[in-house]
Amino acid sequence: MSVAGLCGCASMSFKPYRESHFINMDAEVIRAEYAKEKRTETLPGGLVSTFENKVRLTLPDRKRLTLYQSFSPFGVRYVSKNKRHEFIERGVYCLLYKDGIVLFEGVHCKN
């Protein structure tokens, strides 16, 4: 098996252009790295939107998630391909959901 097969192509092609950190009330930190990947999404009612960003999150337990920008009525929203994880940024605040349950709620902190 190739190295790309072991690591996953998504992580190998991820070229971040910026990075942020968010901290919660328990002093746990999420690292967010932002990269470009153009994709389209068809919304209910047939409206087609084009998005250009994705985010790779490194969670407090060191697990990584890659999510893709999606439609949001407020803030910036990223969703995993399987739709189980959702990351929303609004101003200095962030929320991370898994299956609709809040896993992390934090604020932007200095790197």
Confirm whether 55 is domain-assigned: yes
Domains: count for the chain: 1
Confirm whether 8 is domain-assigned: no
Q: Is 11 helix (H, G, I), strand (E, B) or coil?
A: helix
For residues 60 and 93, what is the distance between their CA atoms, to the nearest angstrom?
A: 17
Confirm whether 10 is domain-assigned: no
Domain CATH code at residue 36: 2.40.128
Confirm whether 1 is domain-assigned: no
Domain residues for the domain of 52 are 15-109
pLDDT for position 4: 38
Confirm whether 4 is domain-assigned: no
pLDDT per position as a tens digit, 48-82 = 888 899 999 999 999 999 999 998 888 899 999 99
Does the pLDDT at position 9 exceed 80? no
Which letter does DSSP use for residue 9 in this model?
H
